[in-house]
Amino acid sequence: MKICFILNPTSGRNRRRPALATHLCDFIASRSLDATVVTTDGPGHATRLARDAAVAGGTIVVAVGGDGTMNEVAQALLHTPAALALVPCGSGNGLALHLGVPTALLPALELVAGSGARIARIDTGHANGHPFFNAMGLGLDADVSRRFNTLTSRGLPAYVRTALAALREIRSERVVISTAEQRETLDILLVAVANSDQYGNNACIAPGARVDDGSLDLVAVRPVGIVGATTLAARLFSGRFDQSPHVCRLRGSRFVIERAAPGLIHTDGETHATGATVGVVVQPRSLRIVVPANSSAVARTEDSAPGGFSFQLS
């Protein structure tokens, strides 16, 4: 199989590992893989590199970075025969954690090389044309992402501090959320639309959500104070977030979110300025991805393996 590793040297933990490219090359040599390593040099570069790799016949394209790198690589592979693989090096790693992909470097690389791996198909979301693979959001969600992306030191403690600072300043807004079956008017602090069950760091925003069910899970949070937010934050890590009376949850293949004015959204943590109306739609089974063979997060299917894959295809 032909593998392309796309390394973002400024992503998360990679900043503290200047020799990572060398480690990747050493791993490739030790496993005699038909693989190359390329390095990104700025926003959007990973998408171009991934597209080039797929056009050149790459069977697996590996995102070595955080959620932003994952998003850039994955969007180039939608509806192609190439499969995405993850070597998670970011602050949250939400999709990797949901799928059971190891977050330690060597086990993640072994998975890419085919050790105990299979290829699955997962759904993807689009929000006003911006693809996402883990989650998107607006309101407090987008504001926290904007602030967090300016930090030089990240991680869960930094995210919590950023969220609390944003919560003290943000005002609630009224939105109208429409599905094929219903229409809700809500005052909200945030709206998140999840493909997987979590933001990252095992913070479970949509307990029970799956990436292969043809649906997305919308979670709207009504206004709460600092004390209420603290209680909600605890629920994120206990799997009971959507049981709070401050939370409204909807499931569907398409949502329209109408707000009073244009503003920010985020897709997998990257922010975009967009219009007052945000349309969110799912594309079922549109991305091939390497997962652990025993992962229960995504079902096995009857697809057949393309030539050259040395591990199971689900």
What torsion do the CA atoms of 134, 137, 241, 166 make, to the nearest 10 degrees? 120
Handedness of CA 299, 94, 224, 182 (dihedral sign): negative
Angle 141-120-291 from CA coordinates, rounded to 5°:
75
The number of helix segments (H) and strand segments (E) in the chain equals 8, 17
Which residues are within 8 A (CB) of 162 and not within 5 positions of it... i.e. 6 or more apart?
144, 147, 148, 151
Q: Rounded to an integer, what distance in angstroms lies between the CA atom of residue 48 and that of residue 148?
A: 25
Note the pLDDT of residue 147. 86
Give the span between the Cα atoms of 138 and 140, in whole angstroms. 6
pTM: predicted TM-score of the whole model, two decimal places? 0.90
pLDDT tier at 307 (50, 70, 90 boundaries)?
A: very low
**pLDDT tens-digit profile of 192-232?**
999 999 999 899 999 999 999 999 999 999 998 888 888 98
Q: What pLDDT band is residue 2 in, cutting at 50, 70 and 90?
A: very high
> Above 50 in pLDDT, residue 67?
yes
What is the three-class DSSP state of 264?
strand
Q: Tens digits of per-residue pLDDT, 109-148?
A: 999 999 899 999 999 999 999 999 999 999 999 988 888 7
Higher confidence at residue 158 or residue 92? 92
Q: Which amino acid is at 254?
A: R
16 pLDDT band (50/70/90 cuts)?
A: low
Question: What integer pLDDT is reported at residue 132 of this predicted model?
Answer: 98
Q: Tens digit of pLDDT for each residue in 273-284?
A: 999 999 999 999
Q: Considering only CA atoms, which of 71, 83, 104, 14 is closest in space to residue 196?
A: 71
pLDDT at 24: 96
Largest CA-CA distance found in the chain, in angstroms, rounded: 58
Q: What is the pLDDT of residues 92-111, one digit of tens each?
A: 899 999 999 999 999 999 99
88 confidence band (pLDDT: 50, 70, 90): very high
**What domains lie within the chain, and their CATH numbers?**
2-125+285-313 (3.40.50.10330), 130-282 (2.60.200.40)
Q: Which positions ≥6 away from 25 have C-beta within 8 Å?
A: 37
